């Protein structure tokens, strides 16, 4: 059933598209030995050295592991995040650390649990409640929509529309029954960035219909051009009504195992979200929050991360050239390569593993299939450039040697 020219209805959660892409990948490659020493380009797990301050800050706060942390986050954490947001974005108003920031156990759990809270917070919709998301997408969005009892409507993000959903084409009837729209900018996996003007237009429309914008900005600090990507909070204007941004230290500071992030924005929603989280959400240990305080006050390690990612995309440009539809993305650390002329994403994934020892993700595993059988990720591969330069260079040369 089509809900608009650019919208697709999700397949049932029990179908393969509703399972972890990494479980599906393990099943696809089971029984096949790697043709060379393995290099994994599958998981978006930064492998740059962790910042030098992490160990000393944890050691200085070890005694604070001995007490339960507050769900909302320490005052020092919230103040540090508010100050960083004020430096990073051109905000129309400062973020209030008392009412407009919550700590998260990484952005993933926040993005998932926000869907459950949003369902009751937004209230009755004009029709079956829905949550909208780009396609391909981060699987936590669909998991949240499914758990909240909402229809997960996927919006194709393809080469034809600049790898961003055509939000302007959404019909009012669909927005009237929408609980929340998930955004991801820079996008995972294509690296496309929404302009401030496009963000502002979408926020204005969702406000008209009483829906929320849940902005996943996890890749905000990995930008490959001259200017930093805009954020949803700066596009929100004089207040943050209906807008919540999610971010973490996983990508920004190469600390995926620390499990520390935040959400910031609409104070009314965050008040309800805090009440919801007090009942069952994971808390963040205070020593971990102290690491975040230091991380959000220090940009040298972030600049070094950006330098390393830019160097790896420079390698990709030289080694891949125009093959596989390569384009240097605006942000993020993924390659999104078109291998459809070579037999499709699953077949090429198996070939790369068995002949070159490269572990990559079929693009179709990162998207949901429409009732008509189309899948905007089909024929693509996602490669995460998260290793050091030497390993990345070796992997890219293997890729070209294997596929031609």
Helix, strand, coil percent content, the chain, rounded in steps of 5:
45, 15, 40
Contact 264, 95 (CB under 8 A): yes
d(CA 216, CA 228): 15
Q: What are the residues facing 215 on neighbouring strands?
A: 183, 245
CA 70 to centroid of chain Cα atoms: 26
In whole angstroms, give the CA distance from residue 394 to residue 404: 15
Q: How many CA atoms lie within 13 A of 389 on its CB side?
A: 11
Which H/E stretch holds residue 357?
none
Name the band, by pLDDT with cuts 50, 70 and 90, for residue 372: confident
366-379 average pLDDT score = 91
Residue where a domain terminates, one of 272, 298, 324: 298
Q: What is the structure's pLDDT at 228?
A: 97
Q: How confident is the model at residue 3 (pLDDT cuts 50, 70, 90)?
A: very low
Clarify whether residues 88 and 21 are in a common domain: no
Average pLDDT of the residues in 15-25? 78
Domain count, the chain: 2
What's the confidence (pLDDT) of residue 1? 31
Same domain, 19 and 73: no
Reference 131, options 193, 118, 165; nearest CA is 118
Tell the burial category of 188 from Cβ atoms under 10 Å away from its Cβ (0-12, 13-18, 19+).
buried
pLDDT at 386: 98
Rounded Cα gap, residues 273 and 17, in angstroms = 29
> Order of strands, edge to edge, in the sheet holding 101-104?
8-9, 151-156, 130-135, 178-184, 212-216, 243-248, 261-265, 101-104
Confidence of residue 220 (pLDDT cuts 50, 70, 90): very high
Q: Given pLDDT bands bounded at 50, 70 and 90, which one contains residue 10?
A: very low
Are residues 292 and 151 part of one domain?
Answer: yes
DSSP letter at 178 equals E
Residue 334 has pLDDT above 60, yes or no: yes
Domain end, chosen from 277, 298, 319, is at 298
d(CA 74, CA 258): 16
Q: Which residues pair with 263 in a beta bridge?
A: 102, 246
Domain boundary among 298, 314, 334: 298
What does the pLDDT average to over 24-46?
97
pLDDT, tens only, 93-150: 999 999 999 999 999 999 999 999 999 999 999 999 999 999 999 999 999 999 999 9
Question: Both 275 and 367 in a single domain?
Answer: no
Q: Are residues 305 and 289 in the same domain?
A: no
- Rounded-to-integer distance, Cα 46 and Cα 254, Å: 5
Q: pLDDT averaged over the chain? A: 95
Domain holding 339: CATH number?
3.90.1150.10
Task: For residue 348, give the H/E element and its range.
Answer: helix 345-351
pLDDT bucket at 225, cuts 50 / 70 / 90:
confident
pTM, two decimal places: 0.94
Position 18 confidence tier, pLDDT thresholds 50, 70, 90: confident
Provide the residue range defining the domain that includes 305.
10-49+301-403
pLDDT at 371: 78
pLDDT at position 226 is 87
pLDDT band at 373 (very low <50, low <70, confident <90, very high): confident
Range 202-207 average pLDDT: 98
CATH number of the domain that 205 lies in?
Answer: 3.40.640.10
User: Is 2 among the domain residues?
Assistant: no
228-276 pLDDT, tens digit each = 999 999 999 999 999 999 999 999 999 999 999 999 999 999 999 999 9
């Amino acid at each position: 059933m089509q809900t608009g020219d650019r919208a697709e209805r999700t397949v049932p959660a029990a179908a393969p598209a509703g399972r972890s892409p990494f479980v599906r990948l393990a099943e696809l490659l089971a029984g096949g030995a790697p043709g060379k020493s393995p290099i994994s380009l599958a998981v978006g797990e930064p492998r740059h050295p962790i910042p030098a301050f992490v160990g000393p800050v944890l050691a200085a706060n070890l005694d604070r592991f001995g007490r339960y942390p507050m769900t909302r986050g320490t005052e020092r954490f919230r103040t540090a995040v508010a100050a960083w947001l004020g430096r990073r974005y051109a905000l129309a108003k400062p973020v209030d650390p008392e009412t407009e920031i919550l700590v998260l156990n990484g952005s993933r759990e926040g993005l998932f649990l926000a869907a459950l809270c949003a369902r009751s917070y937004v209230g009755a919709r004009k029709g079956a409640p829905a949550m909208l998301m780009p396609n391909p997408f981060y699987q936590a969005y669909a998991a949240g929509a499914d758990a909240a009892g909402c229809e997960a409507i996927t919006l194709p993000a393809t080469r034809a529309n600049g790898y961003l959903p055509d939000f302007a084409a959404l019909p009012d009837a669909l927005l009237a029954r929408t609980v929340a729209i998930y955004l991801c900018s820079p996008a995972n996996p294509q690296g496309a960035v929404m302009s401030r003007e496009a963000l502002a237009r979408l926020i204005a429309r969702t406000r008209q219909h009483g829906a929320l914008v849940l902005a996943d900005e996890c890749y905000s600090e990995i930008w490959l051009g001259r200017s930093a990507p805009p954020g949803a909070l700066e596009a929100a204007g004089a207040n943050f009504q209906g807008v919540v941004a999610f971010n973490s230290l996983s990508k920004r500071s190469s600390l995926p195992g620390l499990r520390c992030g935040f959400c910031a924005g609409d104070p009314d929603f965050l008040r309800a979200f805090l009440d919801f989280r007090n009942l069952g959400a994971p808390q963040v240990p205070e020593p971990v929050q102290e690491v975040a305080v230091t991380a959000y006050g220090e940009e040298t390690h972030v600049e070094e991360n950006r330098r390393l990612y830019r160097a790896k995309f420079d390698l990709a440009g030289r080694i891949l050239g125009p093959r596989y539809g390569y384009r240097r993305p605006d942000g993020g650390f993924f390659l999104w390569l078109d291998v459809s002329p070579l037999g499709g994403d699953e077949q090429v994934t198996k070939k790369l593993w068995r002949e070159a020892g490269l572990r990559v993700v079929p693009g179709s595993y990162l998207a949901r299939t429409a009732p008509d059988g189309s899948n905007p990720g089909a024929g693509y591969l996602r490669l995460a450039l998260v290793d050091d330069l030497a390993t990345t260079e070796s992997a890219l040369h293997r890729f070209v040697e294997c596929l031609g």
